[in-house]
Amino acid sequence: MYQKIKSFLYLPVILFLFWGCTTAPEKDPHVRNVILLIGDGMGLTQMYAGYTANKGSLALERSQYVGLATTFSANRYNTDSAAGGTAIACGVKTNNGMLGVTPDTIPVKSMLEYAADFGLSTGMVVTCELTHATPAAFVSHVGKRTENEKIALQLSHSKINVAIGGGRKYFEERTDAKNLTDSMRAKGFHVAYSMDEVKAVQEGNLLGLLADVAQERYPARGEMLPESVAKAINILNKNKKGFFLMVEGSFIDSGGHANDHEFVANEMLDFDRAVKAALDFAELDGHTLVIVTADHETGGMTINSGDLETGSMATSFSTKGHTGVPVPVYAFGPGAETFTGIFDNTDFLPKVLKLYGINP
């Protein structure tokens, strides 16, 4: 009887040790996928505004490593989204207002373009128009961020596999009378105009044009962002070689420009749900690196007081524009330790390429 009891007591220990041995992560797992999430205008205070509004909780807290990135552009202490996005995507400083080019307008290859040429699937999900500054930095090379139709044309010619956001007018109501969605359908793209249509796509290439220009602010647009991130991951992950996905929480920036902390917190929490979708996948996959950062901080936001039980806060802003302060960097998964310390926003590209094993 004693032997039976002893065996019964030892069984959970044996099973635990066996389970641990069979499911322990590799010591140096290969980075197959990278999900880069950019909170436009998200400084440390914007993050904490979301944390406070959510009564002391964010999915972002699951990040394993934290760093800081400097954001100045080639010609300004305070960057704009075009130069900031270009620095992250292409690894070079450029002038404010320029996309995917050096200050003397020489095109520079982006992280997404390197990934595509390496045989990986690529995608981006944004709440603004697909031709806006941050997403455009990954697929276009233009001297002025306002060249929306030119950016849309370059996106249509790119090797991207999934693109979900707004900006339908720049694809279908163009001054040159071209209908880029027709040409993308001819290349095998599913073209979706609603989230129901986006969700219905199970494989292949997807262009989701969910608004004429930008989408509505949260909560009016619903769960578009996290649901689109989950859909993009599902489609891109069918490429066994790997994928690259860029996600932007576009309107944290808008809340900062408006000096509206409720606007900021709502957008931050929506962005955090997209972060959760990425982290949930990465935890199960084991070969996915998740990076969360910002192109710049907007508003000079300060939380003067708050209450984690009620989610309320009192805030002030020093500007309606961008500031020059460094932005936080959060990382999870294989290679996450690479994104600690203080580094420049041009360092994202070489770090990611090295982890992929891509030689530029």
For residue 100, give the nearest of 280, 256, 312, 88 by alpha carbon. Answer: 88
Question: How far does CA 188 lie from the centroid of its chain?
Answer: 25
- Does the active-site annotation cover 110? no
Q: Could you tell me the two tokens for 66?
A: 């934290």
Task: Name the DSSP letter for residue 75.
Answer: S
Helix-then-strand count for the chain, H and E: 13, 14
Query: Which tokens go with 276?
Result: 């959760």
From 273, 205, 281, 277, select the one nearest 32 (Cα to Cα). Answer: 281
Strand intervals (E) in 210-323 = 243-249, 288-293, 297-298, 301-307, 312-317, 322-323
From the candidates 63, 81, 110, 156, which is the catalytic residue? 81
The Cα 50–Cα 69 span in angstroms is 20
Q: Which two tokens stand for residue 99?
A: 């996309």
Any bridge partners for residue 307, and if so which?
312
Question: How many angstroms separate the first and last alpha carbons of the chain?
Answer: 68
Q: Are strands 121-129 and 65-70 parallel, antiparallel or unpaired?
A: unpaired
Distance, in Å, from the CA atom of 298 to the CA atom of 320, rounded to the nearest integer, reads: 7
Find the helix or strand (DSSP H, E) in which 175 lies. none
- What's the CA gap between 207 and 229, in Å, rounded? 13
Residues belonging to the active site: 81
